[in-house]
Structure 1
Amino acid sequence: MSEDIYWTVSVAIWIGKIALYVGLFIGVGGAFFVNWIGGRSLLASRGALWVVGFSLVAAPLSVGMQGLDALGMGLAGLGQQLVWKTGYSTSYGLTAAIATASMAAALVAILSRGVLGKVLSLAALLGVGVALASGGHGGAAYPQWLTRPAVFLHAIGIAFWAGSLIPLVAVLAARGPEAVSVLRRFSVVIPFAVMPLIAAGMVLALVQLGGIDALWGTAYGQVLMVKLIPVIALFLVAALNRFGLTESAERHDPNAITRLRRTIGVEVALVLVIFAVAACWHFTPRPLADAVGV
């Protein structure tokens, strides 16, 4: 594969990964949020529909990109059956298939209400965890009895948190009677998503790295260090929202509501940066702990 073809396919794979993350975490997570927590609005529903719809197209295309990468072919090879067969034969093919099913369920859940919307959105959220635990560095690392459940919990936690952001911004912007109740319900539930997310993330990092020197001595560790910058910033902004603005917003303080809406917008931007960095893991060699099966 020539250098130009390599970079073209690599960029396409990277974009496809980001699109998949956006669809799974923001789209599916958003469908779950509006069905279980509240905040269903025209803006939130349309946003989730567009995100999921775009990702439903991008996910299968990303499988073709995987096939091109495996075969050392350029984008012109997308029309060949062998490329798609090769892409779906990889662990990513299974991930994309489960992710597509989850996003399809989320799409119907967004358009539904009541029990059907709840059941489909819950199934879609669980599908996010299953999809990401089925492949990738985390899902393939040993011991899998530990890493696969950790990836599952980590993915579900991200989906709930990231998926809540757009509906929260929308309901706060509307300043309707539902805004405060939705914010209160979210404040009660979010610790139960964030704590497993943090614990699972720490477990995965320890297993993957194998030692502290791998942070700067391996490509995986270097990507992790870069990712930690927006992650730490995200937690700081979230802490500001939770402990500095939420209580005042719940008392219907208009200034606090405006500031909260803006800082949640900052959270959205940081989440997208995290997705972009995490997508770079596809191009890193398998971590030592994974490679040696320990």
Structure 2
Amino acid sequence: MSHEHDNTQSVLRATLYLGVFLLLGAGVFARYVGLEAARAQPWRLWYLISGGFLLALGATLYGVYHVTWMLGDTSLMASYLLETRQGNLLLLRLGLLTGLLGLSMGWFRLDRWVYPPLALGLLLTLTFTSHAGAAGGLQPWADLLHLGFGVVWAGCVLALAVVWPGTRYEALMRALRRLSALGLLAVILVALMGTYLSWTRLGELSNLWNTPYGQRLLIKLALVALVVGVAAVNRLWLLPRLQAKRARGLQTVSLEAALILGVLVVSGFVATTEPPPPPGQAAPRLVNISETVGNQRYVGQLFSQAGLIHLYLDLRDTEGNLLEGGPALKVRAERGTEVREDALVPFYKSQYHSALIAEQQGVWEVTVELPGKTLRFALDVRR
């Protein structure tokens, strides 16, 4: 009975990154980088802002639904949002998304002063629901810088690629000069923070090609290298030709924007792939269960995924056939003062499933109470 990684989480994270980068990229571009171009093409930027808002909002809401569905009861959505740390962060994200949309629609004054803290808060909700947030230490702040400078550079490139058709030459050149100046610093900092985060999560260089996390990271790095190469062409070749009026259009900027979209999609899959365990990690992340009780056998898996502890069990006879029914079981998970419990009854014949929310990252003690026997496991839980 194999339970592979659920790609829904990866798709949702990729959609979230796309939405946030479109929303914040358009906002930063309109306020600080391409003011004149934004005034000339307000509807193009509005499509970008509203599209980014809907993508981020939809990914967050469906993510909440998906987690509670995995728990087996979607009526827990309100409890999950209000009573768990991760739910509180998602609830905060929904409020910040609404506030940022309101700023873009002109609902509030002091726009240029209010926008930066709201944007920073939104990025923090991404950081603290990621690998970096779970790891603690310097990683969350490195991840925040990585995201922040990525939005300033990559988000503004996406906005520029949308507004340049039909924009006056003077307005276009002002935006390009500002973006070129910001882009150099942003690319350097994004590269430094990305290198630090990758190294701390990989642990060993061989994990770059020997693990699913490293392999997906390699794809991302290849796309990033292409983006940086196109950005260098734009800075060293396109910008001087535009200044001399010997080039028309920003087709290479559009190519850069298309590659950035690819990077964001792959980033969603990297962010939801478990990094390799630290050297000497004692507790496993997946436990295969095969336990005989009398003339019956419990067969299944205990594993962690995206901050949840999953237990799947089948009760079978000596020939390996599912029984028509099974007794009530109990599963208990604890780490420090945090305790999670679930009473289990079969959801189909003699098949059981439990999913417990693990607020803390680290090793959890999991107890499964069978009739006449108690099983104990140590399980490493990470987001």
TM tier relative to shorter chain:
0.7 to 0.9
Please provide the CA RMSD for this pair: 2.9
- TM-score, normalised to structure 1, is 0.82
Give the match for residue 128 of structure 2: 134
Q: Does 1:118 align with 2:112?
A: yes
Give the match for residue 271 of structure 1: 260
Among candidates 25, 30, 37, match of residue 29 of structure 1:
25
Specify which structure has the higher proportion of helix: 1
Distance 1:89 1:264, change over 3 A: farther
How far 1:250 sits from its partner (Å)? Answer: 2.9
| AA aligned opposite 2:119 | L
Distance 1:290 1:136, change over 3 A: farther
Greater C-alpha Rg: 2
Give the match for residue 231 of structure 1: 224
Give the match for residue 320 of structure 2: none
User: Aligned to 2:205, what secondary structure does the other structure show?
Assistant: coil
Give the match for residue 248 of structure 1: 241
Distance 1:264 1:128, change over 3 A: farther
Give the match for residue 207 of structure 1: 200
Per-residue CA distance 1:275-294 (angstroms, 9 max, x = gap): 2222223542343249958x
> Does the 8 Å CA contact 1:207/1:289 hold for their aligned counterparts?
no
Q: Does 1:57 align with 2:58?
A: yes
Q: Percent identity?
A: 25
> Does the 8 Å CA contact 2:15/2:265 hold for their aligned counterparts?
no
Question: Unaligned regions of 5+ residues in structure 2, if any?
Answer: 282-361, 363-383
How far 1:170 sits from its partner (Å)? Answer: 3.8
Whole-Å Cα distance in 2 between the matches of residues 238 and 88 of structure 1? Answer: 43
Among candidates 184, 194, 219, match of residue 187 of structure 2:
194
How far 1:150 sits from its partner (Å)? Answer: 0.2
Whole-Å Cα distance in 1 between the matches of residues 82 and 207 of structure 2? Answer: 31
Give the match for residue 13 of structure 2: 17
How far 1:11 sits from its partner (Å)? Answer: 4.2
How far 1:147 sits from its partner (Å)? Answer: 0.6
Among candidates 153, 156, 164, match of residue 148 of structure 2:
156
Distance 1:87 1:217, change over 3 A: farther
Per-residue CA distance 1:19-44 (angstroms, 9 max, x = gap): 21112112122112211112312212
| AA aligned opposite 2:257 | V
| AA aligned opposite 1:55 | A
Aligned length: 276
Give the match for residue 168 of structure 1: 160
How far 1:209 sits from its partner (Å)? Answer: 0.7
Give the match for residue 147 of structure 1: 139
> Does the 8 Å CA contact 1:95/1:131 hold for their aligned counterparts?
yes
Whole-Å Cα distance in 1 between the matches of residues 241 and 144 of structure 2? Answer: 34
> Does the 8 Å CA contact 1:29/1:125 hold for their aligned counterparts?
no
Specify which structure has the higher proportion of strand: 2
Per-residue CA distance 1:145-167 (angstroms, 9 max, x = gap): 31111001001011112221233
Distance 1:206 1:286, change over 3 A: closer
After alignment, is 266-275 or 198-207 more displaced? 266-275
Distance 1:184 1:291, change over 3 A: farther
Among candidates 285, 291, 294, match of residue 274 of structure 2:
285
How far 1:88 sits from its partner (Å)? Answer: 7.0
- TM-score, normalised to structure 2, is 0.64
Q: Does 1:108 align with 2:102?
A: yes
> Does the 8 Å CA contact 1:216/1:222 hold for their aligned counterparts?
yes
